[in-house]
Amino acid sequence: MKHTVQITIDGVTTELPVLEATVGLDVVDVRSLIQQGLYTYDPGFLSTAACDSAITYIDGDAGILTYRGYPIEQLADQSEHLEVCYLLLHGELPSAEALGAFKQDIADRMPIDDHFARLFDGFTTESHPMSMLCAAVAGLAAQFHEGLDIYNSEHRLESAKQLIAKIPTLAAMSYRKSINASFVAPDPNLGYAENFLNMCFGETGQPPKVSKTLADALDKIFILHADHEQNASTSTVRIAGSTEANPYAAIAAGIAALWGPSHGGANEAVLDMLMEIGSIDQVSDYVARAKDKDDPFKLMGFGHRVYKNFDPRATVMQASCHAVLAEQGVDDEPLLAVAKALETIAREEAYFVDRRLYPNIDFYSGITLKAMGIPTPMYTALFALGRMPGWIAHWSEMLSAPFKIGRPRQLYLGPNKRDYVPISDR
């Protein structure tokens, strides 16, 4: 049955169609409302679907996340990141042959030209990796601009492969710059996560020495971060891309949006917070601060706009986190004790229970990455690395069908029209 919603404005009733979702909430189509002389008002997009999409589905109440219909738990357990990249881009899982060809395509595109690498000379060792990553990805737009037709699906797929291939190399270069070390080139014989770890911690001319457990855990982190429907950075990529901007520039905008501590920057902020709290006896003071409306302090790694139940990514991450901690022999870390105490309090205290504030993925990924020996400022760069296929899949999906430039309206609350006052009269 076709549903509609009726809205009455000054006695005139208008029917608004309801668009049916495959699964999840249906959507009231308010596009004709402007003809009645009204806008809708929804700061932060709490109730607004900004597009339709067939990539990722989240049921925040049930704690469900699927990529192209496949549950995240199954993908994290049985798949590998490049297979998930293929799935997000093409909509279907690859055959063994297609996956092999895709992996080869990625390996071929991982190297960065020497002249482009000189971009990093403009940064100091104190520069934040996210700043370097943002600049480097935006810089790729200069390399891939002439002749790029964003309405050609082959060109879009080539952009996707270039970005998925180059982001680990650029992220590793950002790290090497921060420790004032020479760059290590990608090794076509290594897996995706393995390659990234070797480019960060290996040495040029030396055989790679990457722990399989750590590479597998990192690959899982990438899978868990690969897409999350219309989050802030993906929406940024879509809006920037809706102006028909160069895709590398649109993705750089997404990287900038990801950096904030309310979004991808939370994994770094979790570690900063755990270190600031320092010991279990300080935990109750910080929890009291988090509950205090006059204090801007929030418990980083808790809460989510969409998940009002346990974040399914956090469940997978929690298990992986324990495996890494055991492998690295850091089970007795004082920070881990602080983390466990916070987790317990947040699960028991009314403030967190009533607001349905659960630990999110960043809570466990921060702790895992620390145990893996990854420096804190790199955490969000790793999130960007993982999220790349999602950003580019959304950009490509938008361009593959008719779309409009992203251009919201506003509720104007400023002064009404008034006359200019010359400075001598003010």
Task: Point out the residues that are catalytic.
Answer: 263, 304, 362
Q: CB 221 → ligand CMC: shortest distance, Å? A: 12
**Which of 410, 385, 416, 315 has its CA nearest to residue 40?**
410
Query: Which own/partner pairs from 41-50 qualify as long-range (CB within 8 Å, at least 24 positions apart)?
Result: 41/411, 45/230, 45/235, 49/230, 50/230, 50/235, 50/238, 50/406
> Which of 192/363 has CB closer to ligand CMC?
363
CA-nearest of 271, 278, 302 to 368 is: 271
285-304 positions binding ligand CMC, by CB under 6 A: 290, 298-304
3-state DSSP call for residue 26?
Answer: coil
Residue nearest to ligand CMC (CB): 303
Of 156, 220, 263, 387, the one binding ligand CMC by CB under 6 A: 263
Q: How far is the CB of 344 from ligand CMC (least distance, A)?
A: 15
**Nearer to ligand CMC among residue 342 and residue 399 (C-beta):** 342
> Is 83 one of the binding residues for ligand CMC (CB under 6 A)?
no
Do 291 and 353 form a contact (C-beta atoms < 8 A)? no
Strand partners, 302: 359
Pick 156 or 263: Cβ nearer ligand CMC: 263
With beta carbons less than 8 A apart as the criterion, state whether 338 and 278 touch. yes
From 171-179, 259-267, 274-282, 319-327, give the range in contact with ligand CMC by CB under 6 A.
259-267
Among the listed ranges 93-101, 168-176, 262-270, 399-407, the one in contact with ligand CMC (CB under 6 A) is 262-270
Q: Is 266 in the site for ligand CMC (CB under 6 A)?
A: yes
Look-up of token digits 């063994």: 96
Cα 299 to Cα 341: distance, rounded to the nearest angstrom: 12
H-helix segments, 144-246 = 153-178, 192-201, 212-225, 232-241
Name the DSSP class of 67. E
In this structure, what token pair is assigned to residue 279?
């010991």
By CB under 6 A, what part of segment 350-379 binds ligand CMC?
355, 357, 360-362
Closer by beta carbon to ligand CMC, 55 or else 210: 55
The verdict on 221 binding ligand CMC (CB under 6 A) reads no
DSSP conformational letter for 395: H
DSSP 45: G
Task: Provide the Cα torsion 389, 391, 392, 395; round to 10°.
Answer: 150
Q: Is 191 in the site for ligand CMC (CB under 6 A)?
A: no
Instruction: Check binding of 279 to ligand CMC (CB under 6 A).
Output: no
**Packing angle between helix 232-241 and helix 247-258, nearest 10 degrees?**
150
Task: Kindly state whether residue 389 participates in binding ligand CMC, applying the rule CB under 6 A.
Answer: no
CB of 27 to ligand CMC, least distance (A): 19
Please select the residue that binds ligand CMC; options are 68, 81, 166, 228, rule is CB under 6 A. 228
Residue 313 C-beta: closest distance to ligand CMC, Å: 8
Shortest Å, Cβ 409 to ligand CMC: 21
User: Is 231 near ligand CMC (CB under 6 A)?
Assistant: yes
Check binding of 347 to ligand CMC (CB under 6 A): no
Q: Is 32 in the site for ligand CMC (CB under 6 A)?
A: no
Per rule CB under 6 A, is residue 186 in the interface with ligand CMC? no
Task: Collect all residues with Cβ–Cβ distance below 8 Å to 71 and sequence separation of at least 6.
Answer: 64, 65, 312
Q: Which residues bind ligand CMC (CB under 6 A)?
A: 228, 231, 262-264, 266, 290, 298-305, 355, 357, 360-362
